[in-house]
Structure 1
Amino acid sequence: MEINDIKELIELIKETDITEIHYEKDGLKITLKRESTAAAAATAASVAIAQVPDAGELANEAREKEDDNYLTIKSPIVGTFYRSATPAAPPLVELGDSVRKGQALCIVEAMKLMNEIESEVNGTIVKIFHENGTAVEYGEPLFQINPL
């Protein structure tokens, strides 16, 4: 096999979808491999992703630091979150409302029992995590309060 023959095999790989060629004749063995463009792109993308910090992680870290100043009221049970005592009544609290320790913030219904969730501190409501009538899990955040 001449050098020109090897060059022709290389050109064949470049011009087609072939990613690997094995050639063997009279004790001469040649193997030519080429990464597929998709694999090369995936490798390049994973390398680029590994080098750039994840913006979502940075945002979560910043949010966690901010949230450290707030008290998070979590659901003590699995159930349905209600912002008011009855469907026709106004919500017990709104965003920005001042609350007192022991004040009812919402109701979580579990097995037809209505459980009032109360504020643990005096403060201001800074975040309401759920819409009226949504399902909540045990330990899931319901409210964030900026304590006084």
Structure 2
Amino acid sequence: MPLETVRQVVELLVESGVGEITVRRGELEVSVKAKGEAAPVVQPAFQRSEAPAAPETPDSGPEWEGLHVVRSPIVGTFYRAPAPGEEPYVEVGDRVSAGQTLCIVEAMKLMNEIPSEVAGVVREILVEDTSGVQYDQPLFVIEPEE
């Protein structure tokens, strides 16, 4: 992959504000990850691409039966609080109402509030603050009120 293409991928990462971008061309794969406020790190992977294993999702086993999983509607960066230094929107054990903001996912410099779809109790937060999230990635597990 030409160095100019890698530079363009890095520029796209910086401009979009997402946490990670992966580009594949044939057997070549280049991943670019933002690291805090520092410059992005470029890590070429010169290995044959294989189909990734299906990630385990928390709504796929009997221990999750009856629980509601809140998923990311977009690719972006996950934030638990409205701003740095502020209290998180929710903690494990908090009661939430339908429509209450649980977190923010930043995508392309836009802050997207992610609401709870159900009223209930937050049982698990599945993502670390400021980490990148993928589309449809599980974020929270909520035990719905009956």
Q: Which residue of 2 aligns with 1:94?
A: 91
TM-score (norm 1): 0.57
TM-score (norm 2): 0.58
Cα deviation, residue 78, structure 1: 0.1
- DSSP-derived class of the 1:66 partner: helix
Structure 2 residue ranges without an equivalent (≥5) = 1-56
- DSSP-derived class of the 2:123 partner: strand
Matched, 1:138 2:107: no
- The count of residues paired between Structure 1 and Structure 2 equals 88
Structure 1 residue ranges without an equivalent (≥5) = 1-59
Q: Which residue of 2 aligns with 1:73?
A: 70
Instruction: Find the partner of 2:100 among 85, 98, 103.
Output: 103
Higher strand share: 2
Matched residue type, 1:118: P
CA deviations 1:12-46 (Å, max 9, x no partner) are xxxxxxxxxxxxxxxxxxxxxxxxxxxxxxxxxxx
Cα deviation, residue 117, structure 1: 0.2
Cα deviation, residue 112, structure 1: 0.2
CA deviations 1:91-124 (Å, max 9, x no partner) are 0000000000000000000000000000001100
Matched residue type, 1:135: G
Cα deviation, residue 69, structure 1: 1.3
After TM superposition, the structure 1 = structure 2 runs for residues 122-137 of structure 1, keeping only pairs within 5 Å, are: 122-137=119-134
- For the residues of structure 2 that align with 1:64 and 1:125, how far apart are their CA atoms? 18
Amino-acid identity (%): 52
- Larger radius of gyration between Structure 1 and Structure 2: 1
Q: Which of structure 1's runs of 4+ aligned residues deviate more than 2 A?
A: none
Higher helix share: 1
